[in-house]
A and B are shown apart, each in its own frame.
Chain A
Amino acid sequence: GAVVSQHPSWVICKSGTSVKIECRSLDFQATTMFWYRQFPKQSLMLMATSNEGSKATYEQGVEKDKFLINHASLTLSTLTVTSAHPEDSSFYICSAGQGSGNTIYFGEGSWLTVV
């Protein structure tokens, strides 16, 4: 079964509103989680590294005030898309690693549609 779970699987929101996506590690503790975004027919682009108990590290070009990341516990990271716009519509995927560094689990992904 899944060891990293995302919720919701899909969400539709109105332009200007905020939406929160959760990423949970189910059987292990993850001090670091990663958030990716994937537009149709494109690859996964890393948005940010979520660090438990501290601020997230954002990749170049990603607005930290728009994509709020909170990693309040060792098993939960949340991504909040604030003031969403249609161009934010995308597939958002989280990942977490365990052990040696070669065991990386991906969540099921969350489809966001902003109308």
Chain B
Amino acid sequence: QKEVEQNSGPLSVPEGAIASLNCTYSDRGSQSFFWYRQYSGKSPELIMFIYSNGDKEDGRFTAQLNKASQYVSLLIRDSQPSDSATYLCAASSSGGSNYKLTFGKGTLLTVNP
């Protein structure tokens, strides 16, 4: 069974600090990995995706992928209270449609002013 595992948290960091979110996946055939932010009662919003080993930076966000370890992470620099949300890690399906995602349970992040 294809699984995506995340620490459910909650993770609490002070404003301005770096928040580190981690994710592991079981399906070695997964090609792409996504980080979504979800506010309570709302649909997920894409933060970024990564499909190559290494780091990918976009503004305050850096995604890291290590396919050998089946590990994905998201770093949020200079965390802001508005970053407080649940962060969902997702992996694309191997075989079939690449748009089919398996989600982790999410990590609740709280950024304290």
Contacts and interface: CB of A to CB of B under 8 A. Distances in A.
A contact face: mostly helix, strand, loop, or mixed: strand
A12 interface: no
Interface stretch (B39-47, B62-70, B71-79): B39-47
A43 B97 contact: no
A29 B98 CA distance: 16
A32 B104 contact: no
A95 B101 contact: yes
A21 interface: no
B32 interface: yes
B43 A93 contact: yes
A34 B97 CA distance: 10
A49 B100 CA distance: 8
B51 A102 contact: yes
Given A101-B32, A101-B92, A102-B49, A44 B103 contact: yes
A95 B97 CA distance: 12
A109 B92 CA distance: 20
B88 interface: yes
A43 B43 CA distance: 11
A108 interface: yes
B42 to A, nearest CB: 7
Contact of A44 (B44, B45, B51): B44
B44 A106 contact: yes
A32 B100 CA distance: 9
Interface of A: 32, 34, 36, 42-46, 49, 91, 93, 95-97, 100-102, 104, 106-109, 111
Leading 3 A-B pairs by shortest Cβ distance: A97-B99, A101-B98, A109-B43
19 contacts: A32-B97, A32-B99, A34-B99, A34-B101, A43-B106, A44-B101, A44-B103, A46-B100, A49-B96, A95-B101, A97-B97, A97-B99, A101-B99, A102-B32, A102-B49, A104-B46, A106-B44, A109-B43, A111-B41
